[in-house]
Amino acid sequence: SQTIHQWPATLVQPVGSPLSLECTVEGTSNPNLYWYRQAAGRGLQLLFYSVGIGQISSEVPQNLSASRPQDRQFILSSKKLLLSDSGFYLCATSGLAGNTGELFFGEGSRLTVL
């Protein structure tokens, strides 16, 4: 079956600590992959997208980075978190359902930076 997995679901991190969020997709090949952030429960801000292994496009300059080491794996990272990095992070793919254009989102990772 075609699914998208994202973890961890919740994390609380101190300012200055590193971050790693992981997303994997099953049941499709060469999917487009995206990282979005939601602050204050509203607005989907596109952070990164990838159309293939090692191909990352950044939409917003910040202290976050993304990597795609495998076809169906997308990782969001930070070396040093800021308070402003708190939010709800969503991985998404348009690779399920035969590239109809629909985005499928992971369950989300709620990050609180203290």
Partner 1 sequence: GENVEQHPSTLSVQEGDSAVIKCTYSDSASNYFPWYKQELGKRPQLIIDIRSNVGEKKDQRIAVTLNKTAKHFSLHITETQPEDSAVYFCAASIKGGSYIPTFGRGTSLIVHP
Instruction: List residues binding partner 1 (CB under 8 A).
Output: 32, 41-44, 46, 49, 51, 90, 94, 99-103, 105-108
Smallest separation, CB 100 to partner 1 (Å) = 8
Q: 25, 22, 9, 38: which is closest to 93 by C-alpha?
A: 25
Cβ 114 to partner 1 shortest distance, Å: 20
Closest CA to 108 of 44, 56, 13, 17: 44
Q: How far is the CB of 78 from partner 1 (least distance, A)?
A: 22
Dihedral sign, Cα of residue 34, residue 72, residue 103, residue 52: positive
Q: Which is nearer to partner 1, 13 or 32 (CB)?
A: 32
